[in-house]
């Protein structure tokens, strides 16, 4: 134990203390790359939200499928909570962008992992803001679910889609950032 250094720090609270006590290494052990957090956690959870309400107009008229039973709502809530909490995984520093060897599927459109990495480390607060927006959108979805409000869920789902898109346009396929060429 470095009791002496600790006492000194409390007394002095100076820059020298920072030298004495470097921040402890993170306890987090990240396994999934950001692309895997997207593929395995964020995307399936968001899909469950988007698929929860289906309105089809066909020859037999309009068919509407909405969550009805307690179980439907509970399942939906589980996905929404997964989505909300996944944002904390995206905030953790030290998580790599892509698995080793991963390359852009559409070179010239999708950035390569190292380009994404460079954007991210150049301005971490900006990344955190996009993640924060995803958290907020997820909370709106969760609120609609807790109120069992199907209309609000539809609106929240659209907003969620925009939140995904905004971040992707910044970090994944910025070349598509013109208003009429965007895709999800």
Instruction: Give the residues lining the site for ligand HEC (CB under 6 A).
Output: 34-35, 38-39, 42-43, 46, 90, 97-98, 113, 116, 127, 130-131, 134, 160, 163-164, 167-168, 171-172
CA atoms within 13 A on the CB side of 46: 24
> Please, which residue, 13 or 106, has the CB nearer to ligand HEC?
106
In the complex, least distance from residue 169 CB atom to ligand HEC, rounded to whole angstroms: 10
For the chain, what is the radius of gyration of the CA atoms? 22
CB 163 to ligand HEC: min, Å = 6
Please, which residue, 5 or 48, has the CB nearer to ligand HEC? 48
Using the minimum distance from each CB to ligand HEC, give the nearer residue, 66 or 167: 167
Least CB distance from residue 103 to ligand HEC, whole Å? 9
Nearest distance from C-beta of residue 75 to ligand HEC, angstroms:
17
Q: How distant, in Å, are the alpha carbons of 30, 39, 105, 134 from that of 36?
A: 11, 5, 15, 17
What span, in angstroms and rounded, lies between the C-alpha atoms of 113 and 77? 32
Q: Are 166 and 130 in contact (CB under 8 A)?
A: yes
Report the alpha-carbon distance of residue 143 to residue 73 in Å, rounded.
Answer: 12
Closer residue to ligand HEC in complex, CB, 61/125: 125
């Amino acid at each position: 134990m470095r009791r002496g250094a600790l006492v000194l720090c409390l007394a002095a609270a100076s820059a020298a203390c920072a030298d004495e006590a470097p921040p402890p290494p993170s306890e987090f052990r990240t396994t999934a790359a950001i692309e895997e957090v997207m593929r395995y956690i964020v995307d399936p959870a968001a899909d469950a939200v988007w698929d929860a309400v289906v309105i089809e107009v066909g020859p037999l008229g309009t068919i509407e499928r909405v969550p009805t039973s307690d179980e439907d709502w509970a399942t939906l809530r589980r996905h929404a909570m997964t989505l909300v909490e996944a944002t904390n995984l995206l905030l953790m520093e030290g998580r790599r962008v892509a698995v080793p060897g991963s390359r852009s599927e559409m070179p010239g459109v999708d950035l390569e992992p190292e380009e994404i990495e460079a954007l991210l480390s150049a301005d971490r607060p900006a990344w955190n803001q996009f993640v924060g927006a995803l958290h907020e959108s997820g909370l709106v979805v969760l609120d609609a679910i807790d109120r069992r409000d199907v209309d609000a869920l539809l609106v929240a789902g659209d907003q969620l889609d925009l939140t995904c898109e905004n971040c992707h346009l910044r970090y994944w396929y910025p070349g598509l950032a013109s208003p009429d060429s965007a895709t999800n």
